Amino acid sequence: MAALRMTTPRVLVLQALLDDDHRERYGLDLAHQAGLEPGTIYPILVAFETVGWLSSREEDIDVHTEGRPRRRYYQLTATGVTAAREALSRATQRRAARAASGKLAW
């Protein structure tokens, strides 16, 4: 498993994914929950999928009947759940250490 640099947007996405780690989520839904713009979230999702933290699938719908484009659904893998929890724990520890030292929290 490759190490990813944990930026604030990546931490927010991991928090959103861990809120219900057994549920498939589509990008716009995750963007809203994380408080991020859609253009920000998709590169993050690709990075997480590349290192094996996420799996994804495209839904099978008739776009004309549904009146919308197909969605790509993402879900944390077992490895991803563990890695996300560890990454969030480290981010929280760094934030607490910086806050105690008087430096910026993130």
Q: What is the CATH number of the domain that holds 29?
A: 1.10.10.10
- Is residue 1 situated within a structural domain? no
Q: Taking residues 26-34, what's their average pLDDT?
A: 95
Q: Name the one residue in this structure whose structure tokens are 């995750």.
A: 30
- Is residue 30 situated within a structural domain? yes
- Is residue 14 situated within a structural domain? yes
List the beta bridge partners of residue 55. 75
- Is residue 2 situated within a structural domain? no
Q: Taking residues 1-18, what's their average pLDDT?
A: 87
pLDDT value at 34 more than 80: yes
Find all residues with CB under 8 Å of 69, minimum gap 6, and list them: 63
Instruction: Please calculate the CA angle 47-52-56 and round it to the nearest 5 degrees.
Output: 80
List the beta bridge partners of residue 26. 73
- Is residue 75 situated within a structural domain? yes
pLDDT at 45: 96
- Is residue 81 situated within a structural domain? yes
Q: Which two tokens stand for residue 12?
A: 């927010």
Q: Taking residues 19-45, what's their average pLDDT?
A: 94
Q: Taking residues 38-43, what's their average pLDDT?
A: 93
- What is the count of structural domains for the chain? 1
Range of 92's domain?
A: 8-60+69-101
pLDDT value at 64 more than 90: yes
Between 98 and 82, the more confident residue is: 82
pLDDT band at 68 (very low <50, low <70, confident <90, very high): very high
- Is residue 28 situated within a structural domain? yes
